[in-house]
Amino acid sequence: MAPAEAVSPSTLSERPSLLRAGVLSPLLFIAAFALLPLVVAGGDGAFLLTIAARIMIFALAALSLDLILGYGAMVSFGHAAFIGIGAYVIGISAEHFLEDLALTLPLALFICAAFGLLMGAVSVRTSGIQFIMITLALSQMAYFGATSLARYGGDDGLTLWSRSTVFGSSILENDVAFYYAVVVALALCYGLCALIVRSRFGRVLSGIRQSDKRMSALGYPVDRYRLVAFVIAGAICGVSGVLLANLTEFVSPAYMSWGRSADLIIILVIGGIGRLHGALWGALILLGLEDAIPFVFKDVLAPLFPADGESIGASLHAASLTIAQNWKVVLGPILILVALYARGGIVGVFSTRKDGS
């Protein structure tokens, strides 16, 4: 049982000061992403907006995972299932000429919540590795289910032939407009999550994480609280699926592979668990490294050395190119170092206080 004076990260954010990392940091993140289109306006910037939108979408998914993992100690190894389901709702609806978000977004939220209810119902009674494995099992079933949807492309996936409309307007076809829709969705979901963790519900959830026995003894229906949290997290994650389908204009079972679920956990561990904004920075770092490592080795390091000849320089040139190609050989050690030396994630490193968990 946790000692009484141990302050959990979530209780931290209850102190009503604006100038604290817990408020400043997400504001900074969202403001920076909101300003990006102004900086990179013009033809060249489009791909940068795609990268940034993808980072925000994964941040949103990781954020919803933090709600259950960070605040409810439920380590779901199947959270990407909700990304996939949200995306498939958009894809399948579009196949049936239902393309307006006014209908499809609530539908996606509803179906993700329903799947969350199913997944939660069988898993919340367990904990630890059993919880991890049950959530993995259910998401794998969703994955294999999607690959068997021959009518909707099966394993090849499903192409959207246009983005979703919003009350009949096809404004999202404009890349900048779509980008801002992602920014707004992330900001709203972040606000919602922040409200939830500060609410009485959120505090009970945190209490259950610290000691479910105590909360149970106090008369709280522990499993029901965990189930509700699971359903909410699933629905919010569904939003990221809706956005991902529209960003890539493509839906694939790969969106809900177990590797994706692992990515979401890694994002949280890198960023910092149980602090909401950890999800944002974690997504930026993990997805940023995906582009940055190959870039540094291919376009920065390799040109420093001569490409030809038998010299050491030439072998360094070749080595840089090889590493750029197999960039995960660099990512792996970075993850190990974070696990060994940056407990509490990047956000934990920056904050001055010791992690209470």
Partner 1 sequence: MKMGTRAGAFLGAVALAAGLVAPASANEDPVKIGFMATMSGPPGVLGKHLYDGFRLGLEKAGNEMGGRPVEVILVDDELKPDYAVTKAQELISRDQVDFVTGLIFSNILMAVFRPITESETFVIGANAGTSTIAGRRCSPYFFSVSWQNDQVHEVMGKYAADNNLERVFLLAPNYQAGRDAVSGFERHFKGEVVDTVYTPLNNLDFSAELARIASAEPDAVFTFMPGGMGVNLVKQFRQAGLADKVKFLSAFTVDEATMVATQDDALGLFGSSQWAMDLDNAANKEFFENFLAAYDYLPSHYAAQGYDAALLIASAVNAVGGDLSDKDAVREALKAADFSSVRGDFSFNTNHFPVQDFYLTQAVKNDDGQYVMSAVEKVFDDYGDVYAADCRM
Partner 2 sequence: MDMTLLLVQLLNGLQLGVLLFLVAAGLTLVFGIMDFINLAHGVQYMLGAYLGVVFFGATGNVLLTIPLVLLGSFIIAVVLEHLVFRRLYRADHLSQVLATVGILLFVTELIEIIFGTQLYQLPVPQALDWAIPITDTLQYPVYRIAVIVVGLILAAGLWLAVARTRVGALVRAGASDAPMVAALGVDIERLFLFVFAVGGMLAGFAGLVAAPIVAVESHMGDQILILCFVVIVIGGIGSIQGAFMGALIVAMVDTLGRTFTTDIMKTILAPSAADTVGPALASMLIYLLMAVVLFWRPRGLFPAKG
**Contacts of residue 269, Cβ cutoff 8 Å, sequence gap at least 6:** 282, 338, 339, 345
By CB under 8 A, residue 255 contacts partner 1: yes
Residue numbers 327-356 binding partner 1 by CB under 8 A: 328, 334, 337-338, 341-342, 346, 349
By CB under 8 A, residue 147 contacts partner 2: yes
Of 77, 54, 83, give the one whose Cα is nearest residue 235: 83
- Site map 214..253 versus partner 1, x via CB under 8 A: ------------------------------x--xxxx-x-
Residue numbers 310-339 binding partner 2 by CB under 8 A: 322, 326-329, 331-336, 338-339
Q: How far is the CB of 306 from partner 2 (least distance, A)?
A: 22
Say if CB 82 and CB 234 are below 8 A apart.
yes
Member of 1, 4, 39, 340 binding partner 2 (CB under 8 A): 340
**Cα gap 156→142, rounded to integer Å:** 16
Q: How far is the CB of 46 from partner 1 (least distance, A)?
A: 4
Among partner 2, partner 1, none, the one that 27 touches (CB under a kind-dependent 5 to 8 A) is none
Contacts with partner 1: how many residues (CB under 8 A)?
49
**Cα gap 269→344, rounded to integer Å:** 7
Among partner 1, partner 2, none, the one that 141 touches (CB under a kind-dependent 5 to 8 A) is partner 2
Which of 231/247 has CB closer to partner 1?
A: 247
Of 159, 76, 82, give the one whose Cα is nearest residue 113: 82
Q: How many CA atoms lie within 13 A of 320 on its CB side?
A: 19
Which of 45/84 has CB closer to partner 2?
A: 84
**Cα gap 132→68, rounded to integer Å:** 12
Question: Please, what sign has the CA dihedral across residues 171, 172, 173, 179?
Answer: positive
**Contacts of residue 41, Cβ cutoff 8 Å, sequence gap at least 6:** none
Residue numbers 237-296 binding partner 2 by CB under 8 A: 258, 262, 265-266, 268-270, 273
Tokens matching residue 236: 């919010």
Which of 114/137 has CB closer to partner 1?
A: 137
By CB under 8 A, residue 137 contacts partner 2: yes
- Site map 71..90 versus partner 1, x via CB under 8 A: --------------------
Q: How far is the CB of 168 from partner 2 (least distance, A)?
A: 36
Q: What is the largest CA-CA distance in the chain?
A: 76
Q: How far is the CB of 187 from partner 1 (least distance, A)?
A: 22
What is the DSSP secondary structure assignment for residue 149, as one 8-state letter?
Answer: -
- Taking CB atoms within 8 Å and a gap of at least 24, the contacts of 47-53 are 49/175, 49/176, 49/179, 50/175, 50/247, 51/287, 51/291, 52/179, 53/178, 53/179, 53/182, 53/243, 53/247
- Site map 155..184 versus partner 1, x via CB under 8 A: xxx-x-x-----------------------
Say if CB 27 and CB 191 are below 8 A apart.
no
By CB under 8 A, residue 289 contacts partner 1: yes
- The contact set with partner 1 (CB under 8 A) reads 40, 43-48, 50-51, 54, 147-148, 150, 153-157, 159, 161, 244, 247-250, 252, 254-255, 285, 288-293, 295-296, 299-300, 325-326, 328, 334, 337-338, 341-342, 346, 349
